[in-house]
Structure 1
Amino acid sequence: MGGRFITFEGVDGSGKTTQLRRLAATLRAAGEAVVETREPGGATGAEAIRRLLVEGEPGRWSPETEILLFTAARRDHVERTIAPARARGETVLCDRFADSTRVYQGVARAGLRGMVDRLHELSIGIEPDLTLILDIDPEAALSRGLARGTAEDRFERFGLDFQQKLRAGFLALAAEFPGRCRVIRAEGSAEEVAARIAAAVMETP
């Protein structure tokens, strides 16, 4: 049996990376072999594409071009990192996956969900076993994201209205896929959020 595939989703600045690392530590302490990865990225070719997507001016790509770039990066990621790790029986924890493309380009940037889903079916063809959607006030998350002061702030610079559309999109996605999505309240201390996530993971086979 292949290893589990768990993804973290949510608006920019919701704490996904921090919580992924905490869950990885918890699972390793319980004896699981864990691979931590991210999107866009997670493999050599995908990381090269990442820089094209998350850096630079907000308007440098059309939504259609973004979908193609994300799908190309995801294909490389699945081939070189996710699928081999699962075949070894390892648990894969991924910071974003196809749900981000469904929400960012399929809803918030443009109404291109159909294009996203068709390309996903043709080129990727897998879904996570469990998706943890970290839900937080978009204004607080945006302040946190911009405060990082990194070059990877292209999507944060679309502004608060964009982040609010993202939140609504992720909550709608959770309702669309209740079998695999769990909405996690991301307010509170990192320890409190980690406890909520651990409980959700324990409840999922």
Structure 2
Amino acid sequence: MGFFITFEGVEGCGKTTQLRLLKERLEADGEKVVATREPGGCPIADQMRAILLDAGNSAITPLAELLLYAAARAQHVQEVIVPALERGETVLCDRFTDATVAYQGHGRELDLDVIGQLNALATGGVQPDLTVLIDCPVQVGLSRALSRIEATSGAREERFELESVRFHERVREGYLALARAYPERFVVVDGSGDVARTEVLVTAALSGRLQGGR
């Protein structure tokens, strides 16, 4: 089996950039790497992503949102993640089940037990070997995220960025609670600095974990 690494964090924390940089480093070392994301990662799940992240769909109820994430994940896991792991490849995923706990559980304050059951059902028991949590203050992340959205010429995926600061604070608190609960799986990296500084911290945090966990 391959090795499954997820990247998590609040909006604008820099996780997508750090995932890309890790992919480049691993491929330079000769590894076969699949980089993917949630929601999305395959055509059917990408259609659900478009619904979930479109600010025009603000009427989505918290429960409908949760179920859409679960449906997208079920497709993504079976179509992309499981086949790659079975090929012995390294899978890097931008958000996974921890995001649902943080955003829908802590952010939306939905039942954490129900979320756990849905996550287990959608993944078929597939879990990350390692999770990199890029942590930064909410205001720092939101400022970056909104600047990125303003600069994009594509779809404005901003439904979550437009949530209240308190919502994002709950999400961050949820992530940090997960990291405390699963220290054997999580590495927490300070993402408040620039890209280069964060990359140094991610590389240092992963060096021993990658060597020891594979």
Matches of 1:168 and 1:189 in 2, distance apart?
22
Please state how far the C-alpha of 1:53 moved relative to its aligned partner: 0.3
Q: CA deviation at 1:79?
A: 0.6
- The TM-score, its normalising length taken from structure 1, stands at 0.95
Supply the AA of the counterpart residue of 1:11: V
How far is the alpha carbon of 1:114 from its aligned partner?
A: 1.3
TM-score of the pair, normalised by structure 2: 0.92
Distance in 2, matches of 1:141 and 1:159, equals 13
Q: For residue 196 of structure 1, what is the aligned residue in structure 2? A: 201
Whole-angstrom distance in 2 between the partners of 1:178 and 1:100 = 16
SS at match of 1:157: coil
User: Is the 8 Å Cα contact of residues 135 and 189 (structure 2) preserved in structure 1?
Assistant: yes
1-side partners of 2:122 and 2:166: how far apart?
31
Residue equivalent to 2:12: 13
Measured in 2, the distance between the counterparts of 1:123 and 1:135 equals 26
- Determine whether 1:68 maps to 2:73: no
**Percent of pairs with identical residues:** 45
Q: Secondary structure at the match of 1:94?
A: strand
Cα pair 2:8 2:133 within 8 Å, conserved: yes
Tell me how many residue pairs correspond in the alignment. 204
**Equivalent position of 1:137 in the other structure:** 137
Tell me the distance in 1 between the aligned counterparts of 2:189 and 2:57.
28
Residue 186 (structure 1) aligns with: 191
How far off its partner does 1:160 sit?
1.4
Shift of 1:145: 0.7
Work out whether 1:152 is the aligned partner of 2:152.
Answer: no
Corresponding position of 1:56: 55
| Cα deviation 1:145-182 (Å, max 9, x = unaligned) | 11122510100100211111111111011011111011
The root-mean-square deviation of aligned C-alpha atoms, in Å, is 1.2
Q: Does the residue aligned with 2:35 lie in a helix, a strand or coil?
A: strand
Give the gaps of 5 or more residues in structure 2: none
